[in-house]
Chains A and B, each alone.
Chain A
Amino acid sequence: MPDNAATPLVSAVIVSYNRRDDLRETLSMLSLQHYKNLEIIVVDNASADGTAAMISELVLPNLRLIQMEENVGVKAYNRGFEAANGEYILILDDDSFPAPDAIEKMIEKFNRYPEVGIVSFTVKDYSTFKNNSPAVAASTAGDTDFNDDYIMSFHGAGAGVRRDVLKKAGGYPEEFFLYFNETDMALRVWNAGFRIESFPDVVCYHKSSMTNRTSERGPFYYTRNIFWTIWKNYPGLLMWKATLLMLFYVFYYAFEQRTFIYIRAFFDAVVNVRMITRNPIRTQIARRFRMHYKTPFTMFR
């Protein structure tokens, strides 16, 4: 399909780490997209399960593999963004995929709302996906009824970004390694004057575990990175207010869940603070932003 104003090139950027079979399914689902002017960039974070070999065996037009030498976390997304040629970039996980009509609808939203910098997909559970059926019977009414009381982040398992917005606001914070990277980027996108909006008819599907998350990795990185997000982005008094609130949660949930993981994460944030650079955003953006302070404390045990 020629690259013109009606069908601009979209670059799907997927970072993968040891999820070969999920990634194969994601790539297969991308081939079902109604929208065809699509390039796919897979950044492999040094998987040990033969992901790279699987990719090289696939015969998919416009599929490129970028191989990292080690697992660098979300930094790998930035390498994918840099390699992308599309006017729009579609961010996906290696275990998520868009509904067959989702990219078409994403472009429609971008065309209709020039102020929207990121289209956040409605992320549904994988089990609800029915092949070749309409994504959801959701109404598009209310599209223009954007919520200005508070503003929000986006879901990293499915989001479309304008390339020029990415250039202006910057990509994911590489020092975060994992988790909460979307929120840091979202604050910069809002601060740059663009909106982030979620649309119920732009859907992607994501796999998730039904078992409890007993791993300490999630709560650790989430907690540390919330502190860093606040310290990097929040202006003066708001930064202190948010820091105190987070400190309260750290101790409160350490008591409630009988764990030191949150305290360890806070100490890590302090000890490695030199890894972040402080660039406060506008106060009105920070005030209106709905920060999910409690997320790390509700995913563990």
Chain B
Amino acid sequence: MKNKNILVIRCTDLQHLDKVFKKLRAEFPDAKLSLLTHRHGAAAAAAYTETVIVYPYTQSYGFFRDMKTLNDMNFDTVVIPVGNVSGSGFLNVFLFTLTIKTGTRLMCNLPLELKPLSKSKIIGLLLRNSLYTLASGVLAAVAGAVLLIGWPVFALLTRGGKSSDK
């Protein structure tokens, strides 16, 4: 597998990122590692690599929040560090990687296993999770309505100060 040009997407804490970079440098000693991070992580990212790319959005990575800068770049591999074993909770980042020109996608989990992520697997996850989205939307609306009805009791129980808004 050709792995000369690797993009790491920062979506876990720096402690995990320390280990991920160590792992990647050991696995791919000749590769150029670039790091994509949100603006608040850019200064700290300079300690990892010379090539830091700043994600221009405040929000999480997303398929519809793609980047022009990345559209003009090609990578051999994109690495997505995840803060657990399964990658649960990182579908938005997986989908975001579909907007990047890359040969392969690797998920690097908490125990530092590198697991390939194919396009079809990501799309499969999207389809499955679309059902969860639908069901969760309905359940959240119902639970929210129940909370709203119970709001007077809720407000009484949490009675404190007034808003700080002047």
Residues of A within 8 A of B (CB): 122-125, 127-128, 136-139, 142, 147, 149-150, 152, 191, 198-200, 206, 208, 210-213, 231-232, 235-236, 240, 243-244, 247-253, 255-257, 266, 270, 273-274, 276-283, 285, 290, 294, 297-301
Contacts and interface: CB of A to CB of B under 8 A. Distances in A.
Contact of A256 (B14, B46, B58, B129): B129
B14 A125 contact: yes
A294 B60 CA distance: 10
Contact of B89 (A128, A139, A282, A298): A298
Contact of A123 (B14, B82, B112, B132): B14
B127 interface: no
Contacts, number: 156
Interface residues of B, number: 52
B1 interface: no
A248 B44 CA distance: 32
Interface in B10-24: 13-16, 18-19, 22
B43 A298 contact: no
A232 B158 CA distance: 8
Contact of A280 (B90, B112, B154, B163): B163
A150 B136 CA distance: 28
Nearest to A210: B111
23 contacts: A138-B46, A139-B43, A200-B43, A200-B47, A210-B112, A240-B144, A240-B148, A243-B144, A247-B144, A249-B136, A251-B143, A252-B129, A252-B136, A253-B88, A257-B86, A277-B160, A278-B161, A280-B164, A282-B166, A285-B164, A290-B58, A299-B83, A301-B86
A30 B95 CA distance: 44
B67 to A, nearest CB: 16
Contacts of A294: 60, 89
B159 A278 contact: yes
A125 B19 contact: yes
B135 interface: yes
A278 B155 contact: yes
Contact of A212 (B15, B40, B110, B163): B110
A122 B139 CA distance: 39
Given A147-B39, A297-B88, 17 more contacts: A125-B18, A139-B46, A208-B15, A208-B16, A210-B111, A213-B84, A240-B148, A248-B140, A273-B158, A278-B158, A280-B161, A280-B165, A283-B165, A285-B164, A294-B60, A297-B89, A298-B89
A147 B40 contact: yes
A277 B159 CA distance: 6
Contacts of B74: none
A298 B88 contact: yes
A252 B132 contact: yes
Nearest to A135: B47
Q: Considering the complex of A and B, which 4 residue pairs feature the smallest CB-CB distances, nearest first?
A: A298-B89, A277-B160, A125-B18, A251-B136
Interface of A is mostly: mixed
Nearest to A233: B164
B68 interface: no
Interface string B84-128: 111011100000000000000000001110000000000000000
B140 A235 contact: no
Nearest to B82: A298
Contacts of B51: none
A141 to B, nearest CB: 8
